Chains A and B, each alone.
Chain A
Amino acid sequence: MSTRGSIRLRLALRNLRRQKRRSVLSGSAMVLAMALLVFSRAIAEGGHEDWIDAGVRMGGGHVSVEAPEYRTRRTLEYRLSPEVRQAVRDAVASPDVAMRLVVAAPRLTVHGLASSSSGALPATIMGVDPERERAFSGLDEKLVEGRWLEPDDRVRAYVGARLASRLKLKDGSRFVLTAQDANGDITGQMVRVAGTFRSGIPEVDEGFVQIPLTTAQEWLAMPGAVTSEALLLRNSRDVGPVRSAMRSALSEWTDEAAVLGWRESMPELDAAVRMDDWADYIFHLVLFVIAGTAIVNSILMSVMYRTREFGVLRALGLERGEVGRVVFIEGMVLTALSGLVGMALGAAIVWGFFRNGLDFSAMWDMEMEAAGIVIDPVIVPRFHWGQIVQSLFFILVIGSLSSIYPAWRATRIDVAEAMKFEE
């Protein structure tokens, strides 16, 4: 740093120290804002991760592979052949994907009817690998009666509790699933209830049936084929690299297999997360306008109070811009120091009090459901490097914006007039 630079820095730092009470008071607004930012971001990140986790487990996974037109047509004509499935399995086994993967679950989904002696109701029927699906959806934990599917089950079904109730089905009851098979023929399959579940999502509980994958493949005349391969990842931020790796590995099969991230396969959930993010950003903006105003006010007051001092600096040979830089440095240092203290305070509050989760169940006593997922009332805050970078960016922006105007005012001081100024 040049000698003049070090003088500017020395003057700025000593002035902050000289005005200790004012510095602490105005800095405390920034401390509070940053602490709230860190806290609310950690809660929002934790909440979003919960939403995404619940959403992808009940939906198509963080990343899903399916036939390109399956999403719009929803018919078995658009399926993944055994050859494509093998390519998917190879891609999933590659190190880039395997290290980020929790489980890959094959699914054969068809829309049809569930009929019993009490009536017939529309249902989404999903053929699943019981072991993989248990690790994927966690639906076995939502059991109401009976049991989850076993690997050697043949004609067993795991049924949404509302659907079972409306069809008057109990554990062991027989009922018939009817759907259009791969050849376009209407075909039926008799199954027995293995168990019933309640997910909390009305559409799922009223119209969802899971049966063993092999049973579904035989029934629908598509041996070895599935409608999708769903990938559950360790972290939602791994979607980008995994999707890229999968797309690259399946580049020869682009006509038959499309790789989708959860934002593409679940646009409602994506919209809900984005909307919540925007609400957060608005909250943060308000927070920072308040903190920024406090900093501007403090630095500006300091500039007014020290008019004569700035006049002296100019008289002694400091240039206009240099006087402005002294003030700018003061604002930046005040903002940066208080911002960093606020970050540490926010992190300490989150880590000290809420690392095991913040329980909102007292605020809502019934199940909350949004965008097709059940929201867990216990939110576990999450930190990641992006939040720190984002916070530092906010500090930089607020510091700069809050310091520019007072610095500019300091450059406009008339030296001769400043000498008349009474401190």
Chain B
Amino acid sequence: MSDGVNGNGNGTAAVRTEDLWKVFAHDGIRVEAVRDVSMTIEPGEFVVLAGPSGSGKTTLLNLLGGLTRPTDGRVWIDGTDITELSERKLARLRLERLGFVFQAYNLLPVLTALENAEFTLLLRDVPPEERREKVEKLFERIGIAGLEDRRPGKLSGGQQQRVAVARAVVGEPALVLADEPTANLDTATSTALIDLMAELNRDLGTTFVFATHDTRLMDRARRVVRLVDGAIVDDDRRD
């Protein structure tokens, strides 16, 4: 594990938050996007953050991923309090322990599918042969083998999102955060993608946290945390 981002012994939860607040102030108007959220997600969980638009799902996901700093409260990822980390250490933590899947795929347009998928491994100085082997295996597994040399512009939405999933999981992160990953996909592609992530969760033990409206995804989740106006109103465990 990297230097400087080791846990402080605060349990082995994949994610833990304590009294988490995120308040935006714009033109003198105060918006409480996340209100007093305390939750724990164990390793290997497949969790959905559900709620209407504006309920704070994406903001909470950004807080968990260290993409934005909380106004108050704390977040531990794999035992590390990320609210205390410097920008540099936070970047390192994101690289080594987190994977992201975005609604708009967000592949780097100038890189090929393979280069996109191996991007985090490249940043971690993994040798080229090992990178290629890992990505090719993953591409085979998620059904996009043979598309390695295509640029994102030459891939369908479903294929792009699969590459994005491959990029998120290839480094075997402690946690994958996915923001509306199926929102831009048709039904069949969405279902296939959900199957794929459930399979990766089951087989690799990767923890997934989704922010979504998608009922199909909620149906597959083993835990659904409902948010309204930035606060948790229900935490439904289905184990």
Contact = CB atoms under 8 A, between A and B. Distances in A.
* Chain A complexes with chain B: yes
Interface of A: 3-4, 7, 10-11, 14-15, 17-18, 308-309, 312-320, 414-416, 419
Contacts of A3: 122-123, 125
A7 B120 CA distance: 11
B62 A416 contact: yes
Contact of A308 (B87, B96, B106, B123): B106
Nearest to A312: B106
A318 B91 contact: yes
B95 A317 contact: yes
Interface centre among A18, A312, A415 (most CB of B within 10 A): A312
A7 B94 contact: no
Nearest to A421: B104
Contacts of B67: 314-315, 415-416, 419
Interface string B104-123: 10101111000000011011
Nearest to A12: B110
A4 B123 contact: yes
Interface in B82-136: 87-88, 91-92, 94-96, 100, 102, 104, 106, 108-111, 119-120, 122-123, 125
B110 A14 contact: yes
A10 B110 CA distance: 9
Contacts of B125: 3-4
B94 A316 contact: yes
A314 B88 CA distance: 10
Interface string B43-79: 0000000000000000100100101100000000000
Nearest to B125: A3
Contact of A18 (B65, B109, B122, B179): B109
A270 to B, nearest CB: 54
A228 to B, nearest CB: 69
Contacts of A309: 106, 108-109
Contacts of A7: 119, 122-123
Contacts of B62: 415-416, 419
Nearest to B171: A317
A307 B67 CA distance: 14
29 contacts: A4-B122, A4-B123, A7-B119, A7-B122, A14-B111, A15-B110, A18-B109, A308-B106, A309-B106, A309-B109, A312-B102, A313-B108, A315-B94, A316-B94, A316-B95, A316-B100, A316-B120, A316-B123, A317-B94, A317-B95, A317-B96, A317-B120, A318-B123, A414-B68, A415-B62, A415-B67, A416-B67, A419-B67, A419-B102
Given A315-B100, A319-B91, 12 more contacts: A7-B123, A11-B110, A17-B110, A309-B109, A313-B108, A314-B91, A316-B100, A316-B119, A320-B87, A415-B62, A416-B62, A419-B102
Nearest to B59: A416
A406 B13 CA distance: 41
Given A11-B108, A15-B110, A308-B106, A317 B92 contact: yes
A381 B15 CA distance: 72
A360 to B, nearest CB: 50
B200 to A, nearest CB: 18
Contacts of B119: 7, 316
Contacts of A317: 91-92, 94-96, 120, 123
Contacts of B68: 414-416
Contacts of A318: 91, 123
B222 to A, nearest CB: 26
B229 to A, nearest CB: 19
Q: In the complex, which of the residues A3, A7, A18, A314 has the most CB atoms of chain B within 10 Å of its own CB atom?
A: A3
Interface core residue of B91, B96, B111, B120 (most chain A CB under 10 Å)? B91
A104 to B, nearest CB: 65
A10 to B, nearest CB: 8
